[in-house]
Structure formats: C-alpha cells, structure tokens
C-alpha cells in the first residue's frame, strides 16, 4: 500500500452527507470504489479516514468523482466552471482592478462591471461549492467524535491521528465559512450538531459567524500538526494565518477592529521559524513550487492526478494568448482570457531604473488601454503562473493540459504584510519589525536571479511605510492570488468613486458603484428553496 500524498490527491470517494463510498488506498487512490456502504460502516475501518479527509482537501481543487469532467459534485453549471478555486479566484479578482476577462460566457462579465444579480450563475456555483465543503466536513467531524471512535475500537496512535484529522476537517470548515462570511455575509449555518437529513437551515449573522470561525480556530490551534509537518495539510501556522486574516478584517465583518490580535497571530507564524521567504519570487508559482518553504497552505495540483478545467488549469491557460509562447508556460495552448488593468501596471513605474521582479507583464503585442473588454490583446496578461519547473521543464501531463503548479493560498509574504498593516492600524507590535519585514520583500523584488541587488534594493524608510503604501505593496506582491477584493473593501476602495479602475461599474473610465456590492447576494435558488433566508440589503430576490 502506498502512502497517500496530499499533493497528488485525485478524485476520491465521495463523502456525502448521509453515506460514503469506500475506496482502496492502492495507487494513491487512483481507482473507483467497489461498493457503496453507509458511513457508519466506512468509519469502522481506520484505514478509510485519511482517504476521506483527502477528499475534503481535494474539494478545493477538483470538481467531481472522475476528472476532468464526469460525475460532478454539484450541478447547474458547466463542471469546469464549477471549480471552487476558479470561482473563488474570479469573485476575488474579476471584481477588482487586478483582473479582467475577454470571455462573454453567461453573466461572467457582470463580475468586472460590478452589476451582478442574485441570479448570477458563477456566484451561485461558488456559494454551492462553499456549502458542499461544509457538508463534507460536518459529516467527518460528526463521525470522528471521541465517543464514536471509542465505540469502534480506535485507540492509541490511531486515536491520536483521528483527532488530528478531525482538527484538520474543522480547519477546512472554518476556511469555507470564512469565505462565506467574507463574500456573502449572512448565510445559512449548519454544524455537526445538526441532525442528518432534510431540513431548512437557519440564517446566521455575519458577526455571529465571525465569532464561530474564531472560536473554531482557537479550539483546534493546539490540535493541529506542527508548522510544516506535511506539505498540503493544515497545520498550526495555517490556523494562525487564517486567524490573522479574520482579525485584520474584523472591523468590516463586525464593526469592531481587532488589529492587536491580527498582529499577534501574524507574529506567531513568523516566529515559528518554519516558513522562510523563497529566494527568487518567480519560483513561488512554478510546477515545483511544492518545494518552497514560503507556502504555508496550498491548494495542491498534479497534472496526472488532479485533472480539472478549473483550478490551476484555468489560471495557467487563461492568461496566455496573442503572440505569447504557450510552450514556455508548459502548456499546449492558451485560452486568451485573463489580463490586468493599467491601475495595477502603473504600480510598477516603467521609468524605474531598478525594475521590480514582481511586475511579470506580457506587453509585446498588447495595449495598456482597454477599449474593448473582449479583445484579449487589450490589457497586459500577467505571466505569474507557469507549468514548468525551475529548470524550465514542463509538468507531468504529457498532453500539456493540466499543470503540476500548486496555488499558494497562504504564504509568508502575505503574513509579513498583514503584520505591518496591523501595526500601522494601531495593533501594537514593533514598527521596526514591520519595516524590516516589508523591506525583506522589497529586497527580494529588486534582486536578480544571480543574487545581485539593484540600486538600494527597493527598500523604504520608516516614514514611507504608510497604509497607502501597504495596499499598493499588497497588489505588487500578491496580485492574482485571490486577496484583492477583500483588501480593497478593508481600505474602503472597492465601491467608492474615489478609487476607480478601467471598466469599474461598466464604463471605460470606471466609476463608483453602490456600497451594498461589498457583499455578494445570496443566490436566488437558495432563497427560493429556503424561506428562512433573507436577501442581503440592496438586492432583490
């Protein structure tokens, strides 16, 4: 029997709300289950626990039980479009200055125009993915309570491992509930304490959901593995990072700032000493980025085992088009979709004699201005994600379709910037440390592949470290990593007319939009199905 590799998760037996399918652990679970049984039978055998847990991690990467299409987990939309990471990324990026797309599928354009409605199928797919994940994790948590483990004779080392698995499932549930809290606000709420079967969940408030996610993360903080114990699995540092993100945005979520807590938990990640900045920025986004010591929590992909038309397949193929060389990205062709706006490009001055390595724009054959959203050659593609390793060798899929590149959901550079922002917002901590962490990122950005530092290495002084600098530095460092919408909302720039970008609000020059769009609407389908739900303010049913 081969050990399950969490980077090589494929499409694993469905952990449904009521019943589960048993799966062998041969060949990294690359086989179909032979029979269906009720969950109680599955959980009698401890050998099934890790494969079921792996399915929960895989839920962010794959779309169904077969891959890349066939036997989808959710319905009502093309399976590739339904991918959790793809839709999360689009909700966080296409609604901002960081990304625009040349496709006119369904209501996709509405995301950048910022005129979406409760009927938007892409926002519905993300909502459904979030609550599908919640259902999976609730079932696992319910079935791994100590009393049930004892009844099943699971003891000793297996008992300790089961408890760690349960803590990881609680982390994954907290992660998805944080996405729900951040994106949709007041949502239906179900835990392992609710009965199994058909019922209509009650709606929770954003503030109450904040408190729940916080309490869950604090409860499991010491039950998770030590930082870096196994790549691709949630550890203590992942929980601390999510807590830091929760606290940094607490004022948005609850009306009460928690910047001291954001600084404290950011510092816990930093002081753990396990995670270190990658020497070369570009290496963070290649097919062998699983070797990086900077990535705290990834969504893992493998070109032969996690096959999907969403996820990193989308993020590597969609920005390639025009006269770009697809082979240099380790793929068989580009999809001619994603670019960025000049608002992001202009954060990297072209007159700078010491260029920032993070710019990563393809400009040849592309115009900076976007007069037609649907013309790929208008706007600069970002060349960040590639399916080649550090030696330039393409990933494992010989067809060139599916990349090995992992998505860095949490990484140390983000934690450095969160700490600095929390300090600037009055959260205590050390101003000198905050400046030092930011300047580490700046020095890396201004160091070439040979290790030569250009000019002053891009470093700044204490007086230059302001909140305006931080929001711009977050865009320079973290663009296209799924943070921008949340960041703009925290800085009061998402809907406001005081900060606009091309095609914000559906006009070429950009305009402000209604404040209520800081939350996405509850999908019409769920409102119709569940009379306990009330739509977010500003939207009709």
Residue 53 clears pLDDT 50, i.e. is over it? yes
Residue 443 CA to residue 433 CA, distance in Å, equals: 15
pLDDT per position as a tens digit, 404-446: 999 999 999 999 999 999 999 999 999 999 999 999 999 999 9
Give Cα separations from 4 to 53, 154, 304, 353 (angstroms). Answer: 11, 20, 15, 49
Percent of the chain with pLDDT over 70: 92
User: What one-character DSSP code corresponds to residue 516?
Assistant: G
Shortest CA distance to 477 belongs to which of 302, 335, 278? 278
Residue 26 DSSP class = G
326 contacts: CB under 8 Å, gap ≥ 6: 320, 332, 333, 334, 400
Question: For 203-225, what is the mean pLDDT?
Answer: 98
Q: Quote the Cα angle for 145-149-150, to 5°.
A: 120
Q: How does pLDDT run across 372-390, given as a tens digit for each residue?
A: 999 999 999 999 999 999 9
Select the more confidently predicted residue: 265 or 39: 265
Is the backbone peptide bond immediately before 68 cis, with ω within 30 degrees of 0?
yes
- Give the pLDDT confidence of 74-130 residue by residue, as tens digits: 888 888 889 999 999 999 999 999 999 999 999 999 999 999 999 999 999 999 999
Residue 117, number of CB atoms within 10 A of its CB: 13
Helix extents (H) in 323-367: 342-345
Residue 392 DSSP SS3: coil
Residue with tokens 């499932």: 169
DSSP one-letter string for 81-107 = TT-HHHHHHHHHHTTSTT-EE----TT
pTM: 0.93
Q: What is the mean pLDDT of residues 11-32?
A: 32
- What gap in Å lies between CA 273 and CA 260, rounded to an integer? 21
Summarize pLDDT for 84-96 with one digit per residue, the tens: 999 999 999 999 9
Helices (H) and strands (E) in the chain, counts: 18, 6
Neighbours of 328 (CB within 10 A): 13
Q: What is the mean pLDDT of the chain?
A: 91
């Amino acid at each position: 029997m081969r050990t399950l590799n969490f980077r090589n998760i494929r499409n694993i037996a469905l952990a449904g709300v009521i019943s589960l399918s048993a799966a062998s652990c041969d060949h990294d679970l690359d086989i179909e289950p032979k029979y269906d049984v009720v969950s109680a039978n599955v959980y009698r055998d401890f050998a099934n626990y890790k494969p079921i847990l792996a399915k929960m991690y895989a839920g962010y990467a794959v779309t169904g039980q077969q891959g890349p299409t066939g036997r989808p987990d959710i319905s009502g939309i093309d399976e590739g479009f339904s991918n959790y990471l793809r839709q999360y990324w689009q909700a966080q990026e296409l609604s901002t200055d960081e990304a625009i797309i040349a496709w006119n599928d369904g209501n996709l354009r509405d995301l950048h125009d910022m005129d979406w409605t409760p009927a938007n199928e892409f926002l519905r797919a993300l909502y459904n993915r979030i609550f599908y994940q919640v259902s999976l994790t609730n079932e696992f948590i319910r079935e791994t309570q100590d009393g049930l483990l004892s009844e099943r004779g699971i003891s000793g080392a297996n008992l300790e491992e089961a408890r760690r698995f349960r803590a990881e499932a609680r982390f994954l549930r907290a992660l998805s509930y944080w996405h729900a809290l951040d994106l949709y606000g007041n949502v239906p709420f179900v835990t392992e304490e609710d009965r199994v079967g058909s019922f209509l969940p009650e709606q929770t408030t954003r503030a109450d959901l904040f408190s729940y996610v916080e309490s869950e993360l604090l409860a499991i903080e010491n039950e998770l593995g030590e930082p870096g114990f196994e790549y691709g699995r949630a550890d203590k540092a992942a929980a601390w990072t999510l807590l830091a993100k929760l606290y940094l945005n607490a004022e948005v979520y609850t009306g009460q700032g928690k910047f001291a807590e954001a600084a404290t938990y950011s510092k816990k990640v930093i002081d753990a000493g396990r995670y270190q900045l990658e020497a070369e920025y570009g290496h963070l986004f290649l097919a062998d980025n699983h070797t990086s010591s900077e990535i705290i929590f990834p969504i893992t992909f493998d070109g032969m085992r996690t096959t999907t038309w969403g996820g990193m397949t989308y993020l590597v193929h969609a920005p390639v088009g025009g006269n770009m060389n697809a082979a240099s990205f380790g793929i068989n062709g580009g999809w001619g979709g994603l670019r960025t706006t000049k608002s992001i490009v202009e954060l990297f001055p072209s007159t700078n004699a010491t260029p920032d390595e993070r710019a990563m724009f393809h400009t040849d054959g592309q115009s900076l201005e976007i007069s037609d959203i649907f013309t790929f050659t208008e706007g600069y593609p970002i060349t960040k994600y590639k399916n080649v390793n550090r030696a330039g060798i393409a990933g494992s899929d010989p067809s060139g379709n599916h990349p090995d590149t992992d998505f860095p959901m949490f990484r140390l550079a983000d934690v450095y910037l969160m700490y600095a922002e929390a300090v600037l917002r009055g959260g205590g901590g050390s101003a000198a440390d905050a400046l030092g962490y930011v300047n580490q990122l700046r020095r890396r950005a201004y160091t070439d592949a040979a290790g030569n530092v250009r000019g002053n290495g891009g470093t700044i002084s204490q007086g230059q470290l302001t909140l305006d600098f931080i929001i711009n530095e977050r865009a320079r460092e973290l663009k296209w990593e799924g943070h921008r919408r949340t960041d703009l909302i925290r800085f009061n720039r998402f809907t406001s007319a005081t900060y606009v970008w091309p095609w914000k609000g559906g006009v070429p020059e950009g305009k402000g939009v209604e404040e209520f769009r800081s939350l996405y609407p509850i999908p019409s389908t769920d409102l119709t199905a569940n009379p306990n739900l009330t739509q977010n303010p500003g939207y009709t049913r």
